[in-house]
Chain A
Amino acid sequence: MKQVNIGSGSAYWGDMLEPAVEMAERGNVQYIGFDHLAELTMALLNRMKLKNPEMGYIPDIIPWMKKLLPVTVPRGIKMVTDAGGANPLQAAREVKKVIKDLNLGPMKIGVVSGDDVLPYLDDIRRQGFKFTNLDTGEEDIDRIKENIVAANAYTGADEIIAELKNGADMIITGRVSDNALYVGPLMYEFGWEYTDAYVNQIAAAVTIGHIIECAECVTGGMSNMWKASERPWEIGFPIVEVFENGDAIVTKTPDSGGIVNTWTVKEHLLYEVIDPHNYLMPDGIADFSAIKLEDVGFNRVKVSNFSGKKRPDTLKLCIGYKDGYIGEGMVLLPAPDALEKAKFCDKWLRERFKILGVEFEELRIDYIGVNTLYGEAGEIEDKDYNEVGIRVAGKARTRQEAETVRREATHLWTMGPIGSSFGTPMKVRPVIKLWPTLVPREAVRTESELMEVK
């Protein structure tokens, strides 16, 4: 039975490079997917592109490709990366330079773009479509229209498959769904198509993509198994051995640290999923309720019994819009009377904001070490803490108002209780709020091309 080995080399912009290189060196994989994008990242990249039309991709792609290409090219490993961000074509031009400099050609780069719906949002609305907010139910985007900075559709694997068929040796995309980076190669290799006959196989690909797309998060990273994870400082990234019938073995780079067992797979299967019976992706809908997990060896888990439904007619569209500013401050307070000192700071800050007449949309003060994560779920124990921190965060319409949070918190350093300790003040940050919605699949103008490097 045909087998395809595919691994994950990155979960986010800023992930660790070494595990990806190690996978390329000794993972025996044919494909490695790299995800660098998140909702906020797309907004940032769009802003970078506005300032400079030659930017807007993940700049890390250049140093990463310098390390990775010399390992992947001789082994014939195909990388599929969304580092193109808001400017996949420019990212491909940069990678082309790297390939030439390192004399690794000839190579063909498949470039996938067209997820940016912003230029034709109004066209779609004129056709009578409304961008209802999936979180709040607000009917359309009229209220936020002037403040929109990004609108990217989570597209599927169609164009990735098309370029692999055209002979691409690597793929650079914009905002395709993270999942499609894995679904694309699997559908291409096994010849699975978007027809009723392959819904369960595509569901397998969607599920497999989901299991590995956050890289280290299924091999012992942020895991309940953190104590059992071996050499977590040399964590291995996940590899899936996929068979023609969709069954798969989840494992990781040989001789790496970390852990893979049914528990790490379970925790990731559930991770960031809403309805596990209908895991909606642009390429298909996976149902996790029948999946079978078995430990079949050391750091090896078999996943089987996949089922699903045909891909939806709409794509997820994430609209980002400017929505005020957040200011933050922090002070750490030592014993004696650490908790009492924190309460003093709390009152001091609120009195200051009253005197200054700042109108926050929202103001939050947490006691670090006491209730920052537990909120109301925990009780504030009136005990003798060695230290308690205070964190204040305020959201305001203007940068100036948000700035008062930072400034008053720094005043607390010299006007607060004895022993108040501080680090470096935190910068005010602009808020890009997200408007999750749907867009008809056919309205999104996805496209791809093949860039040849001699």
Chain B
Amino acid sequence: MKKVQLKELAYARSGDKGDVCNVGIMAKTRNVYEFLVRTITPEKIKAYYEGMVKGDVEIYPLPNIDSLQIVLRQSLGGGATCTLRFDQTGKSMGPVLLGMVVEADEALIDEAANASAAIEKR
């Protein structure tokens, strides 16, 4: 087992709906998806965004696209039109989550690294 940041295993894109921020996490491989379903919990997410997420965290798994939809309630300072956050619409919340450290098998980390090389090359 090795400590690794989520960015090595997945991509993320986030946005807003009022004071709710959503973070779509896209696993780089099917095995990574299954690992993330087992590993990522609402409690861990809320603890990671310490102080930023005031409401509940929900996770919706989407096995058809190897992705997780993470919903962060009361996380954008009231929403884009009244927030004091510089990032009014939560665009940075996804990439910020990719800094989370998890422990994964080295084989899985290698698999994800190979996948990203293929995905990001045209």
Which residues of A are found within 8 Å of B50, using beta-carbon distances?
375-377
Asked if B80 is at the interface of the complex by the 8 Å CB criterion, the answer is yes
Asked if B62 is at the interface of the complex by the 8 Å CB criterion, the answer is yes
CB within 8 Å for A375 and B64 given contacts A39-B80, A431-B81: no
Give the contacts of B13-59 with A (CB-CB under 8 A).
13, 15-20, 22, 24, 26, 48-52
Asked if A75 is at the interface of the complex by the 8 Å CB criterion, the answer is no
B80 contact from A40, A259, A275, A376, Cβ within 8 A:
A40
Do residues B82 and A323 form an inter-chain contact, with CB atoms below 8 A?
yes
Number of interchain pairs (Cβ within 8 Å):
137
Give the contacts of A134-158 with B (CB-CB under 8 A).
134-135
Asked if A196 is at the interface of the complex by the 8 Å CB criterion, the answer is no
Do residues B22 and A267 form an inter-chain contact, with CB atoms below 8 A?
no
CB within 8 Å for A434 and B81 given contacts A271-B13, A274-B22, A377-B99: yes
Which residues of B are found within 8 Å of A270, using beta-carbon distances?
13, 22, 24, 26, 62, 67, 69
Tell me the minimal C-beta distance from A71 to chain B in angstroms.
Answer: 30
Tell me the minimal C-beta distance from A384 to chain B in angstroms.
Answer: 22
Do residues A362 and B84 form an inter-chain contact, with CB atoms below 8 A?
yes
Do residues B60 and A277 form an inter-chain contact, with CB atoms below 8 A?
yes
Tell me the minimal C-beta distance from B55 to chain A in angstroms.
Answer: 9
- The count of chain B contact residues (Cβ–Cβ below 8 Å) is 44
CA distance A263 to B121 in the complex (A): 12
Tell me the minimal C-beta distance from A100 to chain B in angstroms.
Answer: 38
Give the contacts of A241-282 with B (CB-CB under 8 A).
259, 263, 266-277
Residue ID in chain B nearest A272 by CB atoms: B15
Residue ID in chain A nearest B120 by CB atoms: A228
Do residues B96 and A373 form an inter-chain contact, with CB atoms below 8 A?
yes
Range for the number of chain A residues in contact with chain B: 35 or more
Do residues B26 and A263 form an inter-chain contact, with CB atoms below 8 A?
yes
Asked if A393 is at the interface of the complex by the 8 Å CB criterion, the answer is yes
Which residues of A are found within 8 Å of B79, using beta-carbon distances?
135, 433-434
Residue positions of A touching B, CB distance < 8 A = 39-40, 43, 134-135, 222-225, 227-228, 230, 259, 263, 266-277, 288-293, 320, 323, 326, 362-364, 366, 368, 372-378, 391, 393-395, 431-434, 436
In the assembled complex, 16 residue pairs joining A and B whose CB atoms fall closer than 8 Å, in A order, are: A223-B13, A224-B12, A230-B122, A263-B11, A263-B119, A272-B17, A274-B17, A274-B71, A290-B64, A373-B87, A376-B52, A377-B50, A393-B84, A432-B81, A432-B82, A434-B18
Give 9 nearest A-B pairs by CB, closest first.
A270-B24, A224-B11, A272-B15, A376-B51, A267-B13, A376-B50, A373-B92, A393-B84, A364-B84
Known: A276-B62, A378-B99. 11 other contacts (CB 8 A): A222-B91, A267-B13, A270-B22, A270-B24, A270-B69, A288-B62, A289-B62, A289-B63, A291-B65, A376-B50, A434-B18
Residue positions of B touching A, CB distance < 8 A = 11-13, 15-20, 22, 24, 26, 48-52, 60, 62-65, 67, 69, 71, 74, 77-82, 84-87, 91-92, 96, 99, 119-122
